[in-house]
Structure 1
Amino acid sequence: MKNYIILSLLVLACAFTACTKEDSESMGSPTIAQSSLKFSVTQKDGYDNIVYLNSQTSGGYIPFWQYTGGFSKKMLDTINLPFAGNYWIKYTVYTPGGPVGDSTQITVSENDPEYFSSATWNLLANGAEGRTWVWAVDVPTLYCYGNGPGDATTPAWWTNGLSYLQSVGVQNDEMTFDLKGAKNFTFNHNGTITKAIFDLDTTAQTVKITGSDISLGTKATYKIVKLNDNELTLVEQGDGWRNIWLFKRKGYSY
Structure 2
Amino acid sequence: MKSLYTILTGLAILLLNACSPYEDRITPADPAGVKLDFTVTQTSGYDNQVTLESKTQGVLPYWDYGFGTTNATKAVVILPFAGDFFIKYAAYAAGGPKTDSVKVTVSENDPNYFASPMWNLLTNGADGKTWVWATDVPTGYCFGNGSGGADKPEWWTVGTAGLRDQGVLDDEMKFDLDHNANFAITHKGATVAGSFSLDTLAKTLKVNGADISWGNNVTYNIIKLNANEMTLVQQGDGWRNIWMFKRKGFIF
Q: Same fold by TM-score, threshold 0.5 exceeded?
A: yes
Tell me which interval the TM-score lies in, with the shorter structure as reference length. Answer: 0.7 to 0.9
| TM norm structure 1 | 0.86
- Report deviation, 1:98: 2.9
Change (3 A) 1:106 1:246: same
CA contact (8 A) 1:236 1:242 kept: yes
Which AA in structure 2 matches 1:38?
D
Partners of 1:237 and 1:94 lie apart in 2 by 45
Deviations 1:9-28 (Å, cap 9, x if unpaired)? xxxxxxxxxxxxxxxx7355
Which AA in structure 2 matches 1:121?
W
CA contact (8 A) 1:31 1:95 kept: no
CA contact (8 A) 1:150 1:238 kept: yes
- Report deviation, 1:215: 1.1
- Tell me the equivalent position of 1:15: none
- Report deviation, 1:32: 2.8
- Tell me the equivalent position of 1:17: none
Which AA in structure 1 matches 2:247?
R
**93-102 vs 226-235, greater mean Cα deviation:** 93-102
CA contact (8 A) 2:60 2:93 kept: no
How is 1:4-23 mapped onto 2 (pairs within 5 angstroms)? none
- Report deviation, 1:175: 0.6
Which AA in structure 1 matches 2:232?
L
Partners of 1:140 and 1:123 lie apart in 2 by 22
- Tell me the equivalent position of 2:170: 172
Deviations 1:15-70 (Å, cap 9, x if unpaired)? xxxxxxxxxx735523734xx32111101111111000111123x32211222122
- Tell me the equivalent position of 2:55: 56
From 80, 86, 89, the counterpart of 1:88: 86
Deviations 1:65-111 (Å, cap 9, x if unpaired)? 22212222111111111011111112221222332222211111111
From 119, 122, 134, the counterpart of 2:120: 122
The answer to whether structure 1 residue 30 and structure 2 residue 26 are counterparts is no
- Tell me the equivalent position of 1:199: 197
* Secondary structure of the corresponding residue to residue 116 of structure 1: coil
Partners of 1:170 and 1:228 lie apart in 2 by 23
- Report deviation, 1:118: 0.2
Partners of 1:114 and 1:28 lie apart in 2 by 45
| TM norm structure 2 | 0.86
Partners of 2:197 and 2:87 lie apart in 1 by 24
Deviations 1:159-180 (Å, cap 9, x if unpaired)? 1110111111111011111111
**What is the RMSD of the two structures over their aligned residues, measured on CA atoms?**
1.5
- Report deviation, 1:184: 0.8
- Tell me the equivalent position of 2:152: 154
Identity of aligned residues (%): 54
Which AA in structure 1 matches 2:104?
I
From 102, 107, 112, the counterpart of 1:104: 102
Deviations 1:132-173 (Å, cap 9, x if unpaired)? 000011111111111111111011111111011111111101
CA contact (8 A) 1:31 1:96 kept: no
CA contact (8 A) 1:144 1:160 kept: yes
CA contact (8 A) 1:206 1:221 kept: yes
Partners of 2:141 and 2:116 lie apart in 1 by 30
- Tell me the equivalent position of 1:190: 188
Partners of 2:211 and 2:116 lie apart in 1 by 23
Partners of 1:50 and 1:103 lie apart in 2 by 17
The answer to whether structure 1 residue 228 and structure 2 residue 226 are counterparts is yes
Equivalent residue pairs, number: 228
Structure 1 gap ranges (5+) = 1-24
